[in-house]
């Protein structure tokens, strides 16, 4: 199995409009796409391109109905980091790898232009992990048709990585290392395109932060949105 890159980072929030407004204001992003397919999970969403990668916010379609994302938020005290989506070269190889590790999957889809598998969050810790194979690799169905027209790179040019936290960071790092088939380098798992998963100590297991690559001339900055620390870091 080869995990190529972190392609999309997802938060869950009660007020989706506020999250989108913050991203567009602070990160200079374009207009979002709402995927009607997430209604099957009791959600509505917004996906925004960051270069050729993506940020997504999901929210319960009917607050109080207890959809999985709402239960996930409740367990973490509110808005939180939710999912990391990694692009892989071969979905069949990825699924065989996950099965060999004994990791449970909670969702699979095989469409003409993309295939995906979601791993049970209890089996890796801190977030849901999805492995996706796009055809062609540059495409991304989840962002909708014409997402390229909404790319804005004046502030940030792409995803740099995510930051996980937990009371036993070594164990959490080992679980993600096994799932991604990537050996740790210090505190981080580094993928072929330079994106990373960093694991640090924290009170509970969660997707604590999302890092984005700064555009030329943009200095480091940090914004707290949807219970998650967003950092703009040097490219």
Answer yes or no: is 121 within a domain.
yes
For 109-119, letters b (16+ CB in 10 Å) and e give eeeeebbbbbb
Q: Which helix (H) or strand (E) holds 92?
A: helix 91-101
Structural domain total, the chain: 1
Contact indicator for 230, 195 with CB cutoff of 8 Å: no
Are 14 and 142 within 8 A, CB to CB?
no
Q: Looking at residues 68-93, what average pLDDT do you find?
A: 96
Find the domain containing 106 and state its range.
3-139+153-233
Specify if 22 maps to a domain: yes
Q: How confident is the model at residue 192 (pLDDT cuts 50, 70, 90)?
A: very high
Token representation of residue 15 = 């007020």
- CA atoms within 13 Å, Cβ hemisphere of 135: 9
CATH for 217:
3.10.180.10
> In the chain, what percentage of residues exceed pLDDT 90?
99
Q: 156 vs 84, 139, 169, CA distance in Å?
A: 19, 20, 28
Report yes or no on 145 lying in a domain. no
Overall average pLDDT of the 162-182 stretch: 97
Asked whether residue 97 is assigned to any structural domain, the reply reads: yes
* pTM of the entire predicted model: 0.97
- Residues 59 and 16: their CA atoms lie apart, in Å, by 6
Structure tokens at 3: 């995990």
91-144 confidence digits (pLDDT tens): 999 999 999 999 999 999 999 999 999 999 999 999 999 999 999 999 999 999
Q: With 0-12 CB in 10 A as exposed, 13-18 as middle and 19+ as buried, what is 69?
A: buried
In a domain, 98, yes or no: yes
The verdict on residue 148 lying in a domain is: no
Q: How confident is the model at residue 235 (pLDDT cuts 50, 70, 90)?
A: confident
Which pLDDT tens digit goes with each residue over 18-60? Answer: 999 999 999 999 999 999 999 999 999 999 999 999 999 999 9
């Amino acid at each position: 199995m080869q995990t190529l890159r972190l392609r999309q980072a997802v938060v869950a929030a009660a007020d989706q409009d506020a999250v989108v407004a913050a991203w567009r204001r602070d990160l200079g992003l374009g207009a979002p796409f709402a995927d009607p397919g997430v209604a099957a999970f009791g959600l509505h969403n917004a996906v925004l391109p960051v270069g050729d990668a993506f940020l997504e916010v999901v929210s319960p379609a009917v607050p109080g109905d207890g959809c999985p994302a709402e239960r996930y938020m409740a367990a973490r005290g509110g808005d939180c980091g939710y999912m990391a989506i990694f692009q892989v070269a071969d979905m069949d190889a990825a699924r065989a790898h996950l099965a060999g590790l004994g990791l449970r999957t909670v969702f699979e889809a095989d469409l003409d232009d993309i295939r995906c598998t979601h791993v049970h969050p209890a089996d890796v810790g801190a977030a849901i992990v999805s492995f996706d194979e796009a055809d062609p690799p540059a495409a991304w169905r989840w962002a909708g048709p014409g997402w390229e027209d909404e790319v804005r790179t004046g502030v940030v040019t792409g995803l740099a990585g995510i930051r996980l936290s937990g009371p036993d960071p070594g164990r959490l790092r080992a679980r993600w290392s096994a799932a991604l088939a990537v050996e740790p380098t210090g505190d981080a798992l580094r993928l072929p395109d330079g994106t990373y998963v960093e694991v640090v100590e924290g009170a509970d297991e969660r997707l604590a932060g999302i890092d984005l690559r700064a555009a030329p001339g943009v200095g480091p900055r940090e914004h707290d949105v949807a219970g998650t620390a967003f950092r703009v870091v040097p490219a």
